[in-house]
Amino acid sequence: MNADWLQGNIEAVLFDLDGVLTATAKIHAICWKRMFDAYLKRRAALHNESFSPFDTETDYKAYVDGKLRYDGVASFLQSRGIELPHGTPDDDPDQETVCGLGNRKDRMVGEILASETVEVFEGSIRLVHWLKRRSMRMAVVSASKNCGAVLAAAGITDLFEVRVDGVVAERMNLPGKPAPDTFLHAAGMLKVAPERAVVVEDAMAGVEAGRSGGFGLVVGVARHGNADALRASGADLVVSDLGELLPESEQF
């Protein structure tokens, strides 16, 4: 593919992290399942109900993928008709609140990140280096509060001028994806108008955020055969790997 997707006075590219730059989406999916299944099993036993496990395909993509952690917990619980107190971000991971369950999942992720290396998608990193040589402004926009640790573990922190993650969203009281606020905040930090920035996402919620934010181009990364769903969510361009966006001379 040539670089036509950069035409139109594009000045910045805003990347999601998990599933776009790093192969950590599978870690998050595993931890969501472990946390929710343990909770749902205990709830089923207490209420003498049948246990219906968390599905890492349908439930993950529909309710938690790309969203801020507590939003993901609340969204999935709502899908099961379960109401819990929201709690506060300081809740102990063992508390039965939305924040407590979210913190329980975060603890699981932290344990895995402390013991395993973080893989990057080589096509994505080649694209980032190519954009950097073109003096393109770049940011990472992630719902994860582990974003900084993941970037550091992957050795790619210095490639991006700006990071807007779950920590920043909480501090600035920014609603998470599919609201466009985190992407708009990143564009503002780069001093680039949304119509002159590209959003790169693998989650439907992130694609929806890019579309509703009025960004110049929304690129969907379909790593799991979900190209049609990403297009339906508002992606202008869908690829299976970001290396496809490089000029042919740079792809190998």
- Give the count of domains, the chain: 2
Is residue 92 domain-shared with residue 129, that is, in the same domain? no
| Domain end (from 92, 115, 138) | 115
Query: What is the domain-level CATH number for residue 20?
Result: 3.40.50.1000
CA distances 83 to 12, 74, 96, 134, 215, Å, are 41, 8, 11, 50, 35
Is residue 126 domain-shared with residue 108, that is, in the same domain? no
Q: Is 90 among the residues known to form the active site?
A: no
Q: What is the pLDDT of residues 153-209, one digit of tens each?
A: 889 999 999 999 999 999 999 999 999 999 999 999 999 999 999 999 999 999 999
Is residue 216 domain-shared with residue 173, that is, in the same domain? yes
150 Cβ contact list (under 8 Å, min separation 6): 17, 18, 22, 24, 113, 118, 144
Distance CA 112, CA 38 (A): 18
Contact (CB, 8 A) for 25 and 202: yes
Distance CA 63, CA 71 (A): 9
Is pTM beyond 0.85 here? no
Q: What is the pLDDT of residues 107-165, one digit of tens each?
A: 999 888 877 778 999 999 999 999 999 999 999 999 988 899 899 888 999 999 999 99
Catalytic residue among 4, 18, 158, 202: 18
Residue range of the domain that includes 85: 26-115
Catalytic residue among 4, 16, 71, 90: 16
Q: Three-class SS of residue 192?
A: coil
SS (H, E, C) 150-167: HHHHHCCHHHCCEEECHH
Q: Is 16 among the residues known to form the active site?
A: yes
Is residue 129 domain-shared with residue 176, that is, in the same domain? yes
